[in-house]
Amino acid sequence: MSRLVVVSNRVAPVAEDQPSAGGLAVGVHGALKQSGGIWFGWSGEIVDAPPETPTLYQQDSVGYATIGLSRRDYDQYYRGFSNGTLWPTFHYRTDLSRYDRKEYAGYLRVNAWLVEKLKPILRPDDLLWVHDYHLLPFARMCREAGIANRIGFFLHIPFPVEPVLRTVPPHRELTEAMCAYDLLGFQTDDDCTAFSDYARRQLGAVPQAPGVLAVGRRRVRVGTYPIGVLPDEIQEQSQTHSNSRQILNLKQGLHQRRLIMSVDRLDYSKGLVERFQAFERLLEMAPAHRGKVSFIQIAPPSRSDVEMYRNIRRQLESAAGRINGRWTDLTWTPIRYINKNYDRLMLMSLFRASQIGYVTPLRDGMNLVAKEYVAAQPADDPGVLVLSEFAGAARELGDGALLVNPYDTDGMAQALGRALIMPVEERKERHQQMMRRLRENDLDRWRDRFLADLRGDEFA
């Protein structure tokens, strides 16, 4: 079997005995262990003078090749075009998106530079698997550098519909560059269709067979590969801390109150302010729940050197302060807004200890928290998932979750109210349905399907 080379913006080593990482890291690491291979990308460091060659090291049978970025590269490629333009636009927040030609030039420059650094390590029969929006033109740069290897790409975030994508001025150049990949993978059928429709209308792509587009002289395959979790592993993880002092103290402190749980990176796409408002609406609409339910939001800051992220943090602190100021009494604080990271075992145990998983992004590629919440539940007394219809996960979990529109405050409050009184039989039935889907589309299947399609003979 050919060697696998994974390329992603950040390289996240996974230690064998440390179950701390989420989906991408675990899925990719598993693939690298199976076929042997290398994970290449940014080390996470900003350096005065980027080195000539990447740092190579081996950990638990997986090779890593990482490299630092200069301040200018970081500002233009990562903070600028990737997170100031592509991230907001691909999450339909054109109001938050900005475009700067210098940043775009930096984005292209760093993609080409990464290709130059990877090239000496590559063997002719290596299979390349490139991840996410930071690297849309990576394959184009490879082709220009004479790299003819098979290259697949997986987009972890949504792919926007044509009118939204067109707000990014170099949209055509970017999508043409994407066609230099052999296989393009998306989280949902909606994302895959959005790309294919765009390619037909703007690039003159012609569908040749199901999932195959001819674009000029190139043929590119497109497909849907919903990323998943490992349900059995999460079940186990969720029980490790069940009797720990922290969880027991938490339960004791709740005094039989029901617990609503949310966990996110602090990001405007996650709909946190809307979520807080809907929780407050529940307290307004349903006096019976006052003093009987607590809401814990865990959201450590991310990308905090980007102005937009500082704003969302301020908004959230003010919403939590206002709501708590209005409702808190001597023995009850309705919202606990926690700004720090927890390790994975503790998170899964917290999911298991809560009666509602409250996952309401305004837009999300998949949302693994929703899947982890379901997998962590006890089968005989499971909690209820309240899930935004705009998360990719809603495509698979829509039958078992209570789907909500995060722009509808009353609707979300109603769903919370319904979840709080849902009888155990209905909760079990819904949970079983969702577990079936989680098992069908688990993390191993995501990776295996993608790599099988990338290795397939269809390209010959």
Instruction: Tell me the two tokens of residue 149.
Output: 């290897």
**Nearest approach, Cβ of residue 61 and ligand ADQ (Å):** 23
Q: Binding to ligand ADQ by residue 264, rule CB under 6 A? A: yes
Identify which of 385, 412, 415, 406 has the alpha carbon closest to the alpha carbon of residue 397: 385
Q: CA–CA separation, 236 vs 431, rounded Å? A: 17
Specify the stretch interacting with ligand ADQ by CB under 6 A; choose among 2-10, 33-41, 230-238, 257-265: 257-265
285, containing H or E segment? helix 272-285
Residue of 267, 364, 442, 453 with catalytic role: 364
Phi and psi at residue 380, to the nearest 5°: -90, -10
Q: Among residue numbers 322 through 381, which ones bind ligand ADQ (CB under 6 A)?
A: 341-342, 347, 364-369, 372
**Nearest approach, Cβ of residue 101 and ligand ADQ (Å):** 27
Cβ-in-10-Å burial (0-12, 13-18, 19+) of 13 comes to middle
Instruction: Tell me the two tokens of residue 435.
Output: 């577990």
Helix (H, G, I), strand (E, B) or coil at 146: coil
Phi-psi sector, 343: left (phi>0), alpha (psi -120 to 50), beta: beta
Q: Binding to ligand ADQ by residue 156, rule CB under 6 A? A: yes
Instruction: Tell me the two tokens of residue 79.
Output: 């903070």
Site string for ligand ADQ, 114-153 (x = CB under 6 A): ----------------------------------------
Note if 364 is an active site residue.
yes
Q: CA–CA separation, 66 vs 45, rounded Å? A: 10
Q: Binding to ligand ADQ by residue 235, rule CB under 6 A? A: no
Contacts of 404 (CB under 8 A, 6+ apart): 360, 386, 387, 388, 389, 411, 412, 415
Q: Binding to ligand ADQ by residue 92, rule CB under 6 A? A: no
Instruction: Tell me the two tokens of residue 419.
Output: 């979840």
Note if 75 is an active site residue.
no
**Nearest approach, Cβ of residue 111 and ligand ADQ (Å):** 20
* CA–CA distances in Å: residue 359 to residues 103, 216, 302, 372, 412: 33, 42, 18, 11, 11
Residue of 131, 156, 241, 431 with catalytic role: 156
Q: Binding to ligand ADQ by residue 414, rule CB under 6 A? A: no
Q: Among residue numbers 19 through 48, which ones bind ligand ADQ (CB under 6 A)?
A: 22-24
**Nearest approach, Cβ of residue 426 and ligand ADQ (Å):** 26
Specify the stretch interacting with ligand ADQ by CB under 6 A; choose among 55-63, 260-268, 394-402, 437-445: 260-268
Which of 30, 300, 378, 411 binds ligand ADQ (CB under 6 A)? It is 300
Name the residue number minimizing CB distance to ligand ADQ: 22
β-bridge partners, 310 = none
Q: Applying CB under 6 A, which residues contact ligand ADQ?
A: 22-24, 156-157, 227, 263-265, 298, 300, 341-342, 347, 364-369, 372
Q: Give the residue numbers marked as catalytic.
A: 156, 364
